[in-house]
């Protein structure tokens, strides 16, 4: 078994040297060529002063070069830190200041974002230097317990948190996924999430290990569900992995029809709850495809539990289970909150001992565990069911309410395309009041929506206000942006 994740790619380059490894637009690159390019880049980075354990940021749009950057940084014994090119410059500066990178890799498209920052490495300008490096195999100084990447997530205080994940963490997740989920060199895998989102690592390392062909999905395609579905068909993808909202948009646009997506065999979704009414539509239309719900926070390396959905769900108002723990992972409940133990648990938050100590705790008989902040229940068959975020649980007039329950009820209404629920401060009572935001398939008044909700929910769970949007705002990772929804009413 490999000790470092970049060795997955090197092994596949030996097995399948002339096989296409990565596709982007009209470009593609073979395993052997990308292996040589990333080896050269690693040597160029070392020549520029990168040493074992150094952080190297890269501010690059999705491209073959960005995959080469991931591999090159790892092969230089360093830690890769993806920057979001669509971030405001002030936020990029916050991440860079926190990560303290040795270098920041950029190209002509992102030059303006890194202007004024120290330690920059121009990928275009350094091309000759990179090409001048030896392209043979590299000897590594790293160990499996060393960091492979730091991914920055939103913090409750507004300051981004850098989640530290090791080679051992990724290898445990990848070995399980490829074996258990049956990913092979014959697969044609999507790479939809941005590289600064941990869901992307499932695609990368499963493809690197198995020798599957990887297809990078352009960000713009997510805005046009019709084009996205054509992309899957034209590229003859066999494996799709994304947040549910992308799959929901295809159904909401009326594109889910028999006879389409013939090549697709497995559909993975992760990162947020999949509205069951749309899942029902997908599964009824494509009964031969396998649908897998995966759950896992960034802090515990992509997936901690999984659930292969055995049959079409009956109740559109109830979310499908998140399943049981993956190999070498243990999940358990403490006062309704889901805790995670095992080999997937990361090292904590970069440079923030206080937050690390609060979220990563020692537990008798289980070692170091991560407190997810997610609420769940254990079902009679041993599967877990996600209820909602601990911070999404609110009290209204003494009644405890899960915002996810309101969203599930909204989604069950046939005319609702997208839905989000939030709790706002109520100046009159000093408590909370509920607000909902929806995008509709056909015109309905707020009063009509409330009347329909009243048939599904008790009165105290009916939102006081329902705002209609053309489409709900999304975060950079494709999830519904509830912070923006809240601020739209403030």
pLDDT in tens, 8-52: 999 999 999 999 999 999 999 999 999 999 999 999 999 999 999
- Residue 157 in this model has a pLDDT that exceeds 60: no
* Residue 398: band (very low, low, confident or very high) from pLDDT cuts 50, 70, 90: low
The whole-number pLDDT of residue 150 equals 98
Statement to judge: residues 115 and 226 lie in one domain = no
What average pLDDT does the chain have?
92
- Tell which residue, 60, 53, 142, has the closest CA to residue 100: 53
Whats the size of the chain, residue-wise? Answer: 490
Q: 195 in a domain, yes or no? A: yes
Statement to judge: residues 37 and 128 lie in one domain = yes
The whole-number pLDDT of residue 453 equals 92
Q: 293 in a domain, yes or no? A: yes
The whole-number pLDDT of residue 428 equals 45
Beta strands 103-106 and 120-122 are parallel
SS3 450: helix
Q: 268 in a domain, yes or no? A: yes
When divided into structural domains, the chain yields a total of 3
- Residue 58 in this model has a pLDDT that exceeds 80: yes
Counting residues of the chain whose pLDDT is more than 90, the rounded percentage is 76
User: Which of 142, 171, 197 is the endpoint of a domain?
Assistant: 142
- Residue 175 in this model has a pLDDT that exceeds 90: yes
Q: 292 in a domain, yes or no? A: yes
Contact of 98 with 160, CB cutoff 8 Å: yes
* Residue 105: band (very low, low, confident or very high) from pLDDT cuts 50, 70, 90: very high
The whole-number pLDDT of residue 87 equals 78
Neighbouring-strand partners of residue 184: none
406: containing domain? 397-487
The whole-number pLDDT of residue 155 equals 53
What CATH number did the domain enclosing 445 receive?
Answer: 3.30.300.30
Statement to judge: residues 413 and 384 lie in one domain = no
Statement to judge: residues 234 and 208 lie in one domain = yes
Rounded mean pLDDT of 106-118?
92
**β-sheet with 416-425: strand ranges across:** 416-425, 432-440, 465-469
Q: 115 in a domain, yes or no? A: yes
User: Which of 112, 127, 142 is the endpoint of a domain?
Assistant: 142
Measured distance CA(452)–CA(188) in Å, rounded? 43
The whole-number pLDDT of residue 400 equals 62
Statement to judge: residues 337 and 354 lie in one domain = yes
- Residue 261 in this model has a pLDDT that exceeds 60: yes
- Tell which residue, 6, 163, 48, has the closest CA to residue 99: 163
User: Which of 339, 367, 388 is the endpoint of a domain?
Assistant: 388
Q: Which residue has the tokens 């769940």?
A: 376
Statement to judge: residues 295 and 416 lie in one domain = no
What is this structure's pTM? 0.85
Rounded mean pLDDT of 112-137?
93
Q: 169 in a domain, yes or no? A: no
Q: 174 in a domain, yes or no? A: no
The whole-number pLDDT of residue 399 equals 66
**Range from 68-72, 213-217, 405-409 carrying the lowest mean pLDDT:** 405-409
The whole-number pLDDT of residue 208 equals 98
Statement to judge: residues 223 and 364 lie in one domain = yes
Statement to judge: residues 295 and 423 lie in one domain = no
pLDDT in tens, 336-390: 999 999 999 999 999 999 999 999 999 999 999 999 999 999 999 999 999 887 8
29-63: string of b/e by CB count within 10 Å (b at 16+)? Answer: bbbbbbbbbbbbbbbbbbeeebeeebbbbbbbbbb
Cα-based distances in Å from 407 to 182, 317, 349, 453, 482 = 33, 9, 31, 10, 12
What CATH number did the domain enclosing 307 receive?
Answer: 3.40.50.12780
The residue among 117 and 147 whose pLDDT is bigger is: 147
- Residue 441 in this model has a pLDDT that exceeds 80: yes
Statement to judge: residues 434 and 455 lie in one domain = yes
The residue among 43 and 485 whose pLDDT is bigger is: 43
The whole-number pLDDT of residue 430 equals 46
Statement to judge: residues 369 and 433 lie in one domain = no
pLDDT in tens, 218-256: 988 988 999 999 999 999 999 999 988 889 889 989 999
Q: 29 in a domain, yes or no? A: yes
* Residue 391: band (very low, low, confident or very high) from pLDDT cuts 50, 70, 90: confident
For residue 175, the tally of other CB atoms under 10 A from its CB is: 19
Rounded mean pLDDT of 425-446?
78
The whole-number pLDDT of residue 156 equals 46
* Residue 440: band (very low, low, confident or very high) from pLDDT cuts 50, 70, 90: very high
């Amino acid at each position: 078994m490999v000790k470092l994740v970049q060795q997955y790619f090197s092994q596949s380059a030996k097995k399948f040297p002339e096989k296409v490894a990565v596709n982007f637009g009209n470009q593609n690159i073979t395993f052997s060529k990308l292996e040589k390019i990333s080896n050269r880049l690693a040597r160029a980075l070392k020549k520029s002063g990168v040493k074992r354990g150094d952080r190297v940021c890269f501010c690059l749009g999705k491209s073959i070069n960005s995959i080469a950057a991931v591999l090159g940084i790892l092969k230089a014994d360093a830690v890769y830190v993806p920057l979001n090119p669509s971030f405001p410059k002030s936020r990029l500066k916050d991440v860079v200041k926190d990560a303290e990178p040795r270098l920041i890799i950029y190209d002509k498209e992102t030059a303006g974002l890194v202007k004024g920052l120290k330690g920059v490495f121009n990928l275009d300008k350094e091309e000759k230097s990179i090409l001048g490096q030896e392209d043979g195999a590299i000897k590594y100084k790293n160990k499996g317990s060393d960091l492979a990447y730091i991914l920055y997530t939103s913090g409750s205080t507004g300051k981004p948190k850098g989640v530290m994940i090791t080679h051992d963490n990724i290898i445990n997740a990848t070995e399980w996924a490829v074996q258990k989920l049956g990913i092979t060199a014959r697969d044609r895998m999507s790479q939809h999430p941005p590289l600064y989102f941990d869901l992307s690592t499932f695609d990368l390392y499963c493809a690197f290990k198995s020798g599957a062909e990887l297809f990078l999905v352009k960000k713009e395609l997510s805005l046009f569900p019709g084009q996205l579905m054509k992309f899957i068909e034209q590229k003859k993808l066999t494996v799709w992995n994304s947040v549910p909202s992308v799959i929901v948009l295809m159904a909401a646009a009326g594109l889910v029809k028999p006879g389409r997506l013939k090549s697709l065999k497995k559909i993975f979704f992760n990162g947020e709850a999949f509205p069951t009414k749309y899942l029902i539509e997908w599964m009824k239309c494509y009964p031969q495809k396998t649908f897998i719900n995966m759950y896992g926070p960034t802090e515990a390396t992509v997936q901690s539990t999984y659930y292969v959905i055995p049959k079409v769900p009956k109740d559109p108002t109830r979310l499908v289970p998140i399943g049981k723990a993956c190999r070498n992972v243990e999940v358990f409940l403490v006062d309704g909150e889901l805790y995670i133990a095992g080999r997937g648990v990361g090292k904590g938050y970069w440079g923030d001992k206080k937050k690390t100590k609060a979220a990563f705790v020692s537990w008798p008989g289980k070692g170091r565990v991560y407190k997810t902040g997610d609420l769940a229940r254990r079902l009679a068959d041993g599967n877990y069911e996600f209820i909602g975020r601990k911070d999404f649980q609110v009290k209204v007039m003494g009644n405890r309410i899960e915002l996810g329950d309101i969203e599930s009820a909204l989604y069950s209404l046939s005319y609702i395309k997208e839905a989000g629920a939030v709790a706002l401060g109520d100046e009159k009572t000093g408590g909370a009041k509920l607000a909902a935001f929806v995008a509709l398939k056909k015109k309905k008044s707020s009063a009509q929506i409330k009347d329909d909700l009243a048939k599904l929910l008790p009165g105290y769970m009916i939102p006081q206000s329902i705002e209609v949007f053309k489409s709900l705002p999304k975060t950079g990772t494709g999830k519904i942006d509830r912070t923006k929804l809240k601020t739209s009413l403030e």
